[in-house]
Amino acid sequence: MKFTPAKPPLTGETLDTLTEKLRVQGEPAFRAKQILDWLYKKRARSWDEMTNLSKPLRTWLAESFELMPASLVLNKQSEDVTDKLLLELGDRSLIETVIIRVPQEGVGVEHSRKTICISTQVGCGMGCVFCASGLAGLKRDLSAGEIVAQLLQVCYREDDRTPRARMELASFDNIVVMGMGEPLANYDALLRALAILNADWGLGVGARRITISTSGLVPKILQLADEKLGFRLAISLHGATDAVREQIMPVNKAFPLAKLVPAVRAFSEKHGRMVTLEFILIDGVNDSLAQAAALRDIAQDLHAHVNLIPYNTVQDLPWKRPSLTRQERFADVLRAARVSVTLRREKGHDIDAACGQLRLKTEKDRELAETP
């Protein structure tokens, strides 16, 4: 299902497209930069704040664009340092954006490094059996403007928290495209959004501070390798042999390891940067020592970093994480081979951190509330 909003979002415009629209209105070229400065640098939240624009221009802008296509409906803060924003789009779809704060030694939490996890679709069509995002399938792709809006909402949130945030261009350090949806299945909107976030007239986020996570769409990984901007890449592996991986990730049938691994190798050779292999540990499914050994071999071959993530329980799904001992034994197989590995104690467990869960719950509540 496609959603065409009544007015296009301003957050989906590039300097070029906005300049062109303004030119048709008889406005000089520098206006576009002025407007984007209001949006990204001065963080104006209404057209009336844009005081160096004439009243008729402001009226035209208000009639022509949605300033912010995503509104904040819920902000859940966990006991550790994770903030989850539930955002509502023009068609009432819900998406999640997560702020993960990594405290720095000796400074308060307001000075922590911040990684923002963003969504690229409403739902997901990839059908991984363990994942809350994919349970109800794909509802629709997000537009570039809706993807960018998530980061701007994070800036608003941080601006409200500390006056200091306003003085910085982007009030966060890194972006991970690991929220709801398969980013490479919405390739064009994603790349347009990332170009806007990267631009100096946008939020100025360096490509190396942006990580795209994919379940393994091989042709798109190869396409991404050819892009000018060098984003970081993470692969949701979750199975180190085809037999295990295809049980839990249907995408493995179209793109088995024999296709995926060479594509990842091509990507990392082109960019000269380590790729991350994400591996969620699910009890009795992919946590055997044989899987650990197979994962070790792939990681060594690709010279990749491995991120082990104990599975987060999802309501209505039968899977659970292995015991701590089992997790450690798995990690030890990789460590013994000097593979770069982290065993994550994931943040935000108490606010339904696993992707898609907060939305799922809110949609269920909504259905209940709206059933007569």
Token pair belonging to 174? 């890194």
Instruction: Please identify which residue in the block is written with the tokens 């000075």.
Output: 111
Identify the helix (H) or strand (E) that includes residue 117: strand 113-117
CA distances from 21 to 177, 188, 221, 330 (A): 30, 21, 33, 56
Q: Are strands 113-117 and 121-123 parallel, antiparallel or unpaired?
A: unpaired
Active site residue 124: no
Contact 337, 293 (CB under 8 A): no
- Which of 22, 224, 260, 280 is in the footprint of ligand SAH by CB under 6 A? 280
**Can residue 309 be called a binding residue for ligand SAH (CB under 6 A)?**
yes
Task: Restricting to residues 321-360, name those near ligand SF4 by CB under 6 A.
Answer: 355
Q: Are strands 276-281 and 305-310 parallel, antiparallel or unpaired?
A: parallel
Active site residue 105: no
Q: Which of 227, 172, 226 is nearest to 195 (CA)?
A: 227
Number of residues that bind ligand SAH (CB under 6 A): 17
Q: Which of 314, 308, 353 is nearest to 82 (CA)?
A: 353
Distance CA 312, CA 310 (A): 7
Task: Restricting to residues 188-227, name those near ligand SAH by CB under 6 A.
Answer: 213-215
Task: Restricting to residues 121-150, name those near ligand SF4 by CB under 6 A.
Answer: 124, 126, 128, 131, 133-134
In this structure, the dihedral spanned by the alpha carbons of residues 183, 127, 97 and 203, taken in order and rounded to 10 degrees, is 0
Distance CA 261, CA 124 (A): 23
When CB distances are held under 5 to 8 angstroms depending on the partner's kind, the choice from ligand SF4, ligand SAH, none that residue 178 binds is ligand SAH
- Which of 130, 172, 231, 330 is in the footprint of ligand SAH by CB under 6 A? 130
**Can residue 295 be called a binding residue for ligand SAH (CB under 6 A)?**
no
How far does Cα 360 stand from its chain's mean position? Answer: 17
Distance CA 69, CA 149 (A): 7
Question: Shortest distance, CB of residue 120 to ligand SF4, whole angstroms?
Answer: 9
When CB distances are held under 5 to 8 angstroms depending on the partner's kind, the choice from ligand SAH, ligand SF4, none that residue 134 binds is ligand SF4
Q: Which is nearer to ligand SF4, 61 or 355 (CB)?
A: 355
Question: Shortest distance, CB of residue 114 to ligand SF4, whole angstroms?
Answer: 22
Q: Judged by CB under 6 A, which stretch of 37-45, 75-83, 295-303, 305-313 contacts ligand SAH?
A: 305-313
Q: Which of 27, 66, 96, 182 is catalytic?
A: 96
- Which of 27, 158, 182, 287 is in the footprint of ligand SAH by CB under 6 A? 182
Which residues contact ligand SAH by CB under 6 A? 130-131, 178, 182, 213-215, 236, 238, 278, 280, 309, 311-312, 314, 354-355
Report the catalytic residues. Answer: 96, 355
